C-alpha cells in the first residue's frame, strides 16, 4: 500500500488520437528501441482541448459535433476531450461536480448525451480527418464508483482501514492503490475499451506522475497492440514517463516563463535557456505540449489576457515556433477573455471571432514548415545572438529544405536590435509577406512585443 506520507506530499492536481489500421506500416514512425512508438500522423499536429459542458448552450456531444466544420477550417488535428465519464455525486464539488471525479470508467456523462452519441461524434471526427483523444484519470476515482463498494482493497487506506483521498484538499476523489494487480488489470481493460470499442486515438493522462511508471508502460504496450496511439502525460518532472509510455508531456516550465516574461519578471534570456535545456533533456523523439492556456489555467489562474496582457499574440507565435506540439483551448481561438466556471454550467462567448484568422495562420505556418514539426520530424533550435539579449529572443530551426528564423521583442518597449546569423540569405517574413535579404549582421526595428518569422527562400 502507498504510504500516507507519500500521499500527503503529492503535488497539486493538474487536471491524452485517429482511427488507422495497425497493419499499415507507415502509420508509426520509428523510435529508439524500447521507446513508445510515435504515430506518423502526429508529426505536425496541433491539439485542441474540448470542454463539452461549456462549449455550447446544450453542452452535449451532438451540439459540439456541429462545430467540427469550423474546427476543420481552423486547422487543428487532434481533439482532446476533457473527461466525458459520469461524475460522482458523493462528496461532489459544486452542483455539477468535477469532470475528474469518475463514477464509471466505461460510460459517458448523461449530461453530454449517450455512448452512442459519442461513438457517432468520434466516427464523424475521423471521417473529417481529426484524431480523438480522451482525458484519463488514473490516480483516483469518485467516491461512489462501483470499485469502492466491490473492491475496497483497490484503494489506499489509512491505519484504520478507511479509504482516503490523494491529499486532504481533494475531498471529492478516492486514491487508488497500484500495489493491487487486479485493480491494474481492470484499469488497462477500461483504457482498451475506448480504443477498441469506440476507436479513440490516445489519451491525455491526468496527474500522470501520481501513477507508477511501470503501469503506464504496461498499459501503453497493451493499447499499441490494438492500434497506434498518442499518449500525453500531464507531468513535467518525471522524465522516465517518456521512456516507454508517453510521447509528450506538459511544458509547464516554459508556460510559466512566458507568463513571467509578459509581466516583466523575467528576461528573454530565461526563455533561451529553457529552450536549449528542454532540447537536451528530452528522450529522442519526445517533446512537450506548448500552451498559453488550458482548463486549469483559465479557471484557476486567469485568462491569457489577464496573465500576459499585450503579449498574448507574441507568446502564441512563440508557442507555435519553439519545439513541441501547440495546444489551443476551447474559446482561445476567439479570444475568450473569461474564466470559465469549473463546477457549474458556463459558456464560451463565440460572438467575436477576430482571433481565429490569427490562429489559422499560425497553424498553417506549423504545417507548411517542416522545420517546425514535432519531435524528430522537425528541426532542433539554434539560438541566434542579438545585441539586446535581455529583451530580444531569436532562434532558427531547420529541417531538410525548410529553414525558419523567429525573432521576438519580449518587452513593452520599441527596440532596435542586431541579429547575427551564420550566413546571409533571402527570406520572406511570414506575417507581412515582405521579402528581405538578411545579412550575417542585420539590424531590425521591432515595436513593443513584436514578432517576426522569416522563411528562407
> What is the DSSP-derived secondary structure letter of residue 278?
H
Residue 99 has pLDDT above 60, yes or no: yes
Q: Flag whether pLDDT at 294 surpasses 50.
A: yes
Per-residue model confidence (pLDDT) at position 14: 36
pLDDT for 25? 29
For residue 144, what are the CA distances in angstroms to 14, 32, 77, 94, 364?
22, 42, 35, 16, 45
> What's the CA gap between 369 and 373, in Å, rounded?
7
Distance from C-alpha of 297 to C-alpha of 259, rounded to nearest angstrom: 11
Confidence (pLDDT) at 407: 98
For residue 56, give the nearest of 130, 111, 126 by alpha carbon: 111
Length of the chain: 457
Tens digit of each residue's pLDDT (9 = 90 or more) over 200-226: 999 999 999 999 999 999 999 999 999
Q: What is the pLDDT of residue 12?
A: 35
The alpha carbon of 10 is separated from its chain's Cα centroid by a whole number of angstroms, namely 21
The pLDDT, as a whole number, for residue 279 is: 80
Q: What is the pLDDT of residues 53-94, one digit of tens each?
A: 999 999 999 999 999 999 999 999 999 999 999 999 999 999
CA 38 to chain centre: 16
Where in the chain are the domains? Answer: 4-379, 382-456
Residue 9, pLDDT > 50, answer no
| Confidence band of 31 (pLDDT split at 50, 70, 90) | low
Q: Is the pTM for the entire model greater than 0.75?
A: yes
Helix axes 252-262, 268-281, angle to 10 degrees: 170
What pLDDT score was predicted for residue 280?
Answer: 86
Residue 324 burial (CB count, 10 A): 25
For the chain, the average pLDDT equals 93
What's residue 217's pLDDT? 98
Supply the pLDDT for residue 4: 38
| Residue 7 confidence (pLDDT) above 70 | no
Say which range, 119-133, 198-212, 270-284, 334-348, has the weakest mean pLDDT. Answer: 270-284
Identify any residues that bridge with 454 across adjacent strands, giving them in sequence order: 405, 429
Q: Tell me, what's the pLDDT at 1?
A: 40
DSSP 8-state symbol, 391 = T
Kindly report each contact of residues 265-272 with a partner whose C-beta sits within 8 Å and lies 24 or more positions away, as own/partner.
267/389, 267/390, 267/391, 267/410, 268/389, 268/390, 268/391, 268/392, 268/393, 268/408, 268/410, 268/411, 269/389, 269/390, 271/318, 271/393, 271/410, 272/383, 272/389, 272/393, 272/395
Confidence of residue 273 (pLDDT cuts 50, 70, 90): very high
> What are the strands of the beta sheet with 392-399, ordered from one edge?
381-383, 392-399, 402-409, 451-456, 425-429, 435-438
CATH no. of 382-456: 2.60.40.1180
Q: Which of 408, 412, 441, 411 is nearest to 424 (CA)?
A: 441
Structural contact between residues 7 and 156, judged by C-beta atoms closer than 8 angstroms = yes
* Whole-number pLDDT of residue 246: 98
Burial 410-438, CB ≥16 within 10 A → b, else e: bbeeebebebebeeebebebbeeeeeeeb
pLDDT, residue 256, reads 98
The answer to whether residue 263 scores a pLDDT higher than 70 is yes
pLDDT tens digits, 318-368: 999 999 999 999 999 999 999 999 999 999 999 999 899 999 999 999 999
Query: Which superfamily does CATH assign the domain made up of 4-379 to?
Result: Glycosidases (3.20.20.80)
Whether 4-379 and 382-456 share one fold: the answer is: no
Share of the chain above pLDDT 90, in %: 90
Q: In the structure, what pLDDT confidence band is assigned to residue 42 with cuts at 50, 70 and 90?
A: very high
The x, y and z cell numbers of residue 102, run together, are 469518475
Q: What is the pLDDT of residues 151-177, one digit of tens each?
A: 999 999 999 999 999 999 999 999 999
Alpha helix locations (H) across 369-436?
Answer: none
- For 77, the grid coordinates are 488535428
Amino acid at each position: 500500500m502507498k504510504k500516507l506520507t507519500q500521499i500527503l506530499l503529492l503535488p497539486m492536481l493538474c487536471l491524452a488520437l485517429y482511427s488507422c489500421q495497425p497493419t499499415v506500416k507507415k502509420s508509426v514512425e520509428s523510435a529508439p528501441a524500447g521507446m513508445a512508438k510515435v504515430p506518423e500522423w502526429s508529426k505536425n499536429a496541433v491539439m485542441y482541448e474540448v470542454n463539452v459542458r461549456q462549449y455550447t448552450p446544450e453542452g452535449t456531444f451532438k451540439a459540439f459535433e456541429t462545430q467540427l466544420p469550423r474546427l476543420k477550417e481552423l486547422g487543428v488535428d487532434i481533439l482532446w476531450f476533457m473527461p466525458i465519464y459520469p461524475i460522482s455525486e458523493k462528496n461532489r464539488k459544486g452542483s455539477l461536480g468535477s469532470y475528474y471525479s469518475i463514477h464509471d470508467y466505461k460510460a459517458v456523462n448523461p449530461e453530454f448525451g449517450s455512448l452512442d452519441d459519442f461513438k457517432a461524434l468520434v466516427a464523424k471526427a475521423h471521417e473529417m480527418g481529426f484524431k480523438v483523444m480522451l482525458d484519463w484519470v488514473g490516480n483516483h476515482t469518485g467516491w461512489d464508483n462501483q470499485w469502492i463498494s466491490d473492491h475496497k482493497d483497490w484503494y489506499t487506506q489509512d491505519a484504520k482501514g478507511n479509504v482516503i483521498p490523494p491529499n486532504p484538499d481533494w475531498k471529492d476523489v478516492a486514491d487508488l492503490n497500484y500495489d493491487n494487480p487486479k485493480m491494474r488489470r481492470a484499469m488497462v481493460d477500461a483504457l482498451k475499451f475506448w480504443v477498441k470499442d469506440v476507436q479513440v486515438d490516445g489519451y491525455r493522462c491526468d496527474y500522470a506522475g501520481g501513477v507508477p511508471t511501470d503501469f503506464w508502460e504496461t498499459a501503453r504496450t497493451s493499447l499499441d497492440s490494438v492500434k497506434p496511439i498518442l499518449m500525453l502525460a500531464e507531468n513535467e518532472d518525471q522524465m522516465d514517463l517518456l521512456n516507454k509510455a508517453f510521447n509528450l508531456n506538459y511544458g509547464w516550465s516554459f508556460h510559466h516563463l512566458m507568463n513571467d516574461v509578459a509581466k516583466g519578471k523575467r528576461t528573454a534570456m530565461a526563455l533561451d535557456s529553457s529552450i536549449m535545456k528542454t532540447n537536451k533533456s528530452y528522450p529522442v523523439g519526445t517533446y512537450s505540449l506548448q500552451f498559453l492556456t488550458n482548463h486549469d489555467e483559465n479557471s484557476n489562474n486567469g485568462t491569457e489576457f489577464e496573465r500576459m496582457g499585450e503579449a498574448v499574440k507574441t507568446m502564441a507565435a512563440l508557442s507555435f515556433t519553439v519545439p513541441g506540439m501547440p495546444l489551443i483551448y476551447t474559446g482561445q481561438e476567439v479570444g475568450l477573455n473569461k474564466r470559465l466556471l469549473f463546477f457549474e454550467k458556463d459558456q464560451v462567448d463565440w460572438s467575436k471571432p477576430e482571433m481565429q484568422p490569427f490562429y489559422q495562420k499560425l497553424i498553417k505556418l506549423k504545417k507548411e514548415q517542416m522545420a517546425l514539426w514535432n519531435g524528430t520530424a522537425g528541426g532542433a533550435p539554434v539560438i541566434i545572438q542579438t545585441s539586446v539579449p535581455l529583451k530580444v529572443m531569436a532562434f532558427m530551426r531547420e529541417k531538410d529544405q525548410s529553414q525558419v528564423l523567429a525573432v521576438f521583442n519580449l518587452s513593452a518597449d520599441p527596440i532596435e536590435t542586431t541579429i547575427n546569423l551564420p550566413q546571409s540569405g533571402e527570406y520572406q517574413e511570414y506575417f507581412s509577406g515582405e521579402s528581405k535579404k538578411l545579412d550575417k549582421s542585420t539590424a531590425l526595428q521591432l515595436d513593443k512585443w513584436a514578432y517576426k518569422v522569416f522563411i528562407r527562400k
